A and B are shown apart, each in its own frame.
Chain A
Amino acid sequence: MAAKAVHPRIDGGARGLSRRHALFGGLCLCCAATAGLTPRAYAESFTLEEVAPGTFIRKGLIADADAANLDAIANIGFIVGRNGVLVTESGGSLADGQWLRGEIAKRTTKPITHVVLTHVHPDHAFGAGAFTADKPVFIGHAKLKEALDARGEFYRKRLIDLFGEEKTGPVVYPKMSVADTAEVDLGDRTLRFTAHGPAHTTSDLSMRDSLSGLLFPADLLFVERIPSLDGSLKGWLKELDRVKAMGAARAVPGHGPVTVETVPAVEALATYLTALRDQTKAAIAKDVPIDKAVDTVAQDQSSHWKLFEHYNRRNVTVAYQELEWD
């Protein structure tokens, strides 16, 4: 199978999904399904793109989680190796994960041997419940367990409020924890994992495929959709340098197109995070209080990102708390 050209589908942003609502853990969850698609229509509307040999990715909606989209807002997919299938990201709900599992079954009869939990956020973690019957090795950052201990049930309750317990699924913990680096051999290809320091969250795990050279930085790399800061701003900028230094020409971001050129995408994200850092620092230095800073900091970046108004103020709030003690 040859990698086919990638045509990012920009189809998520304009579905008339209701505006933002309760915020938690750096994520926006809407309170009610006021618009959008029925669950069935939503599932049928998604497609997987083969972005590299045996590597299939679905573009998540550029929207906040709600009852209609079942939190299918992250880029999820799988890699087919000689010995089995590795799920790169499981989805934002049990229902989203079940959709992905169904798509895998359409394409291969190989067993699902590994499922990656890239970090603690619900749009990346709650699909995992769909794969427990396959008894795969769930792979996560060494800090993921404590992050799930702290937030798993909190997130689960919020998702249940949106679309019910049945579609939410359980909190799934990693079996294989990565403190530094680790490798998984699928027979004809090896996935190399890197555990990152506090950045987007405190449990960010990236992965590189030896066969295609494709990098999977998960939510260390946001494209198109405004990033949400929930770990460390200074740490994230540092880890972005590390992501760039990995030397992968192309990457699968956690949100945005299914693949992008790594360097320009990392630089675009770093531009936003740098503006956030520098302008927050300037506000603190001028004694601009947090309630005023949220209205001004990084506003010059708004035209570059979708959902900017949903998350930027919150990012400023998080950045301000991190930087005010410097």
Chain B
Amino acid sequence: MRPTFAAFPLAVGLTLSAAALGAAPAAYAAGASDTDQERNARWQEIAKSIFGDRTISPTDTLVKLDAPKRAEDAALVPITLTMPDRDKIKAVSLIIDDNPAPYAAKFEFGPAADTNELKLRVRVNNYTDMHAVVETTDGKLYEAKQFVKASGGCSAPMGMSDEEAMKGMGDMRMKFADAQPGKPVEATLMIRHPNFSGMQMNQVTRDYTPARYIDKLTVSAGDQKIFTMTGDISIASNPVINFGFKPDGKPIQVAASDNQGGSWTKSFTAPSPTN
């Protein structure tokens, strides 16, 4: 009766991380009691595996990372990335150092993006540092960090059968905040998708439900890209992403695909800039 599931899925998560994002930092038996020094050493190694030898400078202004210091629900931890220098930001990566697949998401912005505020929901598996790393248009990297207390978010059962969790998979909705002439518009994209982490047990077979997660998400205004997100198992189920864009009256196109070949597209009528 000894639970043995803790060690095994860690390996699964790691493999997937490598497949999805080309970066596979080593797995750590990370604990709540690690020292700052240990956490920093771990971050150095992860950063190296993702960004190579490039220098990452700390920043208080280019990106701000807000997460609850203690998460209410480790399987749904809301994250806000604030990047007010709209014209300087090329991409942002979110890394959850102690998750089995630390590289949670990368957003690459296009000309229709307004980067001021980006929100997403993630899973957190352990007490961890979280890093946001922005790449500026001049090719430099800057990081912001926050420590988050949460545990079990990746392996937390869904509370429903896999079939139920997959119901309506790929359904999308988009909500737009009130548009003001000449201003960027805030939008909320919701996608029905279980984003199985590969660490959740199937209730009937008692096997682990294979990881199935949105690995690519492209959002455009007409033919102008807003962002492309590369995702992994750390994104919470039924992904919700809040972002800003510059409206030009053309419809917002969303294309999502997952690591098992599922793909979905939808078009939304955006608020008109002249309204």
Chain A CB within 8 A of B78 CB: yes
Q: In the complex, are the beta carbons of B73 and A23 less than 8 A apart?
A: yes
Residues of A within 8 A of B115 (CB): none
Contact count A vs B, C-beta below 8 Å: 86
Interface string of B176-205 (1 = CB under 8 A from A): 010000000010101010000000110110
Interface string of A152-184 (1 = CB under 8 A from B): 011011101000010000110000000000000
Instruction: Give the distance to chain B from A168, nearest Cβ to Cβ, in Å.
Output: 10
Q: In the complex, are the beta carbons of B72 and A22 less than 8 A apart?
A: no
Q: In the complex, are the beta carbons of A291 and B68 less than 8 A apart?
A: yes
User: Which of B3, B5, B160 interacts with A202 by CB under 8 Å?
Assistant: B160
Instruction: Give the distance to chain A from B213, nearest Cβ to Cβ, in Å.
Output: 17
Residues of A within 8 A of B71 (CB): 23
Q: Which of B75-97 contact A (CB under 8 A)?
A: 76, 78, 80
Q: In the complex, are the beta carbons of A154 and B157 less than 8 A apart?
A: yes
Q: In the complex, are the beta carbons of B159 and A150 less than 8 A apart?
A: yes
Q: In the complex, are the beta carbons of B201 and A149 less than 8 A apart?
A: yes
Residues of A within 8 A of B23 (CB): none
Q: In the complex, are the beta carbons of B5 and A153 less than 8 A apart?
A: yes
Instruction: Give the distance to chain A from B5, nearest Cβ to Cβ, in Å.
Output: 7
Given contact pairs A22-B152, A23-B72, A291 touches B201 in the complex (Cβ within 8 A): no
Given contact pairs A150-B157, A202-B159, A289-B78, A325 touches B204 in the complex (Cβ within 8 A): no
Closest chain B residue to A285, Cβ basis = B175
Residues of B within 8 A of A42 (CB): none
Q: In the complex, are the beta carbons of B242 and A289 less than 8 A apart?
A: yes
Complex Cα distance, B156 from A160, in Å, reads 16
Q: In the complex, are the beta carbons of A153 and B201 less than 8 A apart?
A: yes
User: Which of B6, B158, B173 interacts with A157 by CB under 8 Å?
Assistant: B6
Q: In the complex, are the beta carbons of B76 and A317 less than 8 A apart?
A: yes
Closest chain B residue to A151, Cβ basis = B157
Complex Cα distance, B201 from A156, in Å, reads 14
Residues of B within 8 A of A153 (CB): 3, 5, 201
User: Which of A149, A171, A317 interacts with B203 by CB under 8 Å?
Assistant: A149
11 A-B interface contacts by CB (under 8 A): A22-B150, A23-B72, A23-B73, A25-B156, A149-B206, A150-B159, A150-B203, A202-B160, A289-B242, A324-B190, A324-B240
Closest 7 CB pairs of A and B: A291-B78, A150-B157, A150-B203, A146-B203, A314-B72, A149-B203, A313-B72
